[in-house]
Chains A and B, each alone.
Chain A
Amino acid sequence: MAMKMTNYIIIILALWLGMPAAAGAAGSLQSKIDKAPKGAVIEIEQGVYEETIKISKPIVLEGKGNVLLRSCGSEPTVSLNGKGVTLRNIHVEYCGDEGESSGIYVSGSNHILEGLSIKTKRFGVRLDNAAEVIIRDTWINGSKKGNGIDLWQSKQNSIENVVVSNVSDGLYLERSNGNTLRENHIQNSRYGIHLMFSDDNLLYENVSSNNSTGSMVMEATGTVIKNNKFSYNNKNVNAQGLLLYKAFDTDVRGNEFISNRVGIFIEEAEENKVESNKIMDNFIGVQFKKANGNSAAENNFIGNVNDAQAIESSDNRMDGNFWDASSKVDANGNGISEIAFTADPYFLTLTADVPEYQLFFQSPGLILLQNMLKSPTDKLLIDSAPLMDMTMKAEKEKSSSITLWIMSSVMVLTSLSLFILGRKRR
């Protein structure tokens, strides 16, 4: 997947660099569009077009070779209205400073945007009251001042295989229901995928890494988050793989949460299901805060410094997960350990009042203190039926053993020779 993405970026970059600098074209593009009948296919010749265009009838606009549309004004570079417009194989650059402006502005329905590459100083693509729009195989690079793809009151759209980097929020949905986001890559941005007041959206197989937060779901109902990968969202002090804030009835299934500060943060959210996820190498695997009535089962907690923590949360069902750090005994051979797993919220309670004490995270003295001052049972997070074995495989990244053997022998030989030198009498 990473390979595919890298290739894609390389190709796009090659196209950008290889483009003739001043290949101005005769006649404005807008006039060609205005003259074209409905259903026409307009092929754009290779070159740089410094203009903004507006399309409001069903036509196909297709770049032949390297086509760059560029504008730096307050208007979006390309605006789509009406129904059934197709944009294909075009580079769009928005270099203006207008706060809400974008590379491509879309309203109306049934448009198709594919094979585009968008460079923007503000937003990449904005969907405003749009429906059933398809955006796919597209590359968006921003300057952290606007969202990659921004949906406002837009329904049933589909966003597939879009690579977004250096923007504010990769994919941002507000009051937009029933959209499908599939196989997108978002990196080096604030939030990877950000859902606000948006219901019944589907997130499949997206990769969100090196962002402040992999994905944030806020006040949304019925979101399905399946087979995504949220990794290395750990640079920011508030970073996490997935944040469910006041989210309701979310289905989080089959995802990977790797090396985030917090894998999944569930705050004031209810009735969410977290199942069969791989939660690995995070500082905190799952954290609950004022969250009730959620359930987590069949997840694999591997290598997290702190597997789970909960404060002011009750009634969350945590049975049947795999915890690599817990003690396990299976007396009757049913694959379920007889020893319950418990997570003590002592550290969270301590740092909730005085955040400065977060410095004591995993400090040897604090572990001692925590063991002495055990929290009362009703405050613990308990998995009463932890699994004996992992339900999925975890792969190790390791250095080649030759390097390690060299390291080992250098250490032994250096110290040995110094030792012999030291022992010698003058």
Chain B
Amino acid sequence: MWNIWRSELRMTVRQRSYYSFLVLWVVVLSLLFLLQSSAPSLTGYTNMTGTIVNVALYIIPLFMLIIGSFSIANEMESGQWRLLSTYPLSTISYIAGKIGGQFTAQAIVFTFSYGISLAIGLISGNGFSGEWLLSIYFFSISLIFFFLILGITVGCFVSTRWQALSISVIIWFFLIMIWPTALIGVLGNVPYTWIAPLMKIAIFSNPAEFLRVSLVVSLDGGAVFGQSYDSLVTSLKAPSAIYVYILYGIGYLTITVLCSVLLLERRKRR
């Protein structure tokens, strides 16, 4: 597992596309931080926070799905996976190594860009609130984590990179762009009393929604979701909520890794 981890990390950081991500994040984040200078206020959840969160929600999941699925699909296409299958290497350690290596690499490039962009923002004379910066940072890192492992799962059932790309875009479009539209459409056909519980289930089934809700709650804005989510917001705000996040992360990881392993095992047998 650690070998896969290390080689995945080494391979990723040596790719040219890795540096284009560096440029992308620095440009996007710097622009967002420079935009802050026109915002008269910085604390809590403001319209500027909303903009930054939405930009992050648009681009991070898309790129992470593509990177995750490509990292597996690439090896499928090049035949490297067939070669690896002949080694005494369990599927689960292969997946775990892939996830670990990719996540480390992406977290490194994002953290680096975040630090650089923050420095650019500071040099240009902007002020920030530390707590706010950390909230946005952890929000983005969590997005990277959840969508990267989802991407890896996608990579496990496609056979070409082209398929990986199209499925990644479909998933992104569904989870990010038309999620509310789809839910409103579906929930319009169920009895009224089912709406609240189904919406709560929906939050947990879409990591992007879950993270967005947690960020708003952590920036003291939970009340904006209204009466139906009062108990949920209160429990996410309590100190014990950290266990909810950990449990959610572990649960999500287990399900996606399990799916990936099963898919690969089936392939091996073929």
Partner-B contacts on A (CB < 8 A): 234-239, 259, 261, 280-281, 283-284, 302-307, 324-325, 350-351, 354-369, 390, 394, 396-399, 401, 403-405, 407-412, 414-416, 418-419, 422-425
Contacts and interface: CB of A to CB of B under 8 A. Distances in A.
B47 A303 contact: yes
11 contacts: A237-B230, A259-B43, A261-B223, A324-B38, A355-B227, A358-B225, A364-B57, A366-B180, A397-B129, A405-B122, A424-B10
Contact of A360 (B41, B180, B221): B180
B226 A358 contact: yes
A235 B220 CA distance: 8
Nearest to B114: A411
B118 A396 contact: no
Contacts of A236: 223
B130 A404 contact: yes
Nearest to B108: A415
Given A324-B47, A363-B179, A404-B122, A396 B105 contact: no
Contacts of A407: 115, 118, 130, 133-134
A285 to B, nearest CB: 10
A397 B43 contact: yes
A31 B120 CA distance: 76
A45 B127 CA distance: 55
Interface of B: 6, 9-10, 13-14, 38-50, 53-54, 57-58, 104-105, 107-109, 111-112, 114-116, 118-119, 122, 127-131, 133-134, 176-181, 184, 187, 192, 195-196, 199, 203, 209, 212-213, 216, 220-221, 223-230
A367 B247 CA distance: 30
Nearest to B53: A362
Nearest to A359: B225
Given A303-B39, A305-B50, A399-B129, A361 B13 contact: no
Nearest to B195: A356
Contacts of B187: 354, 356
B228 A356 contact: yes
Nearest to A423: B13
A366 B107 CA distance: 29
Most chain B CB atoms below 10 A, which of A280, A364, A398, A424 = A364
A283 B221 contact: yes
B203 A405 contact: no
A408 B122 contact: yes
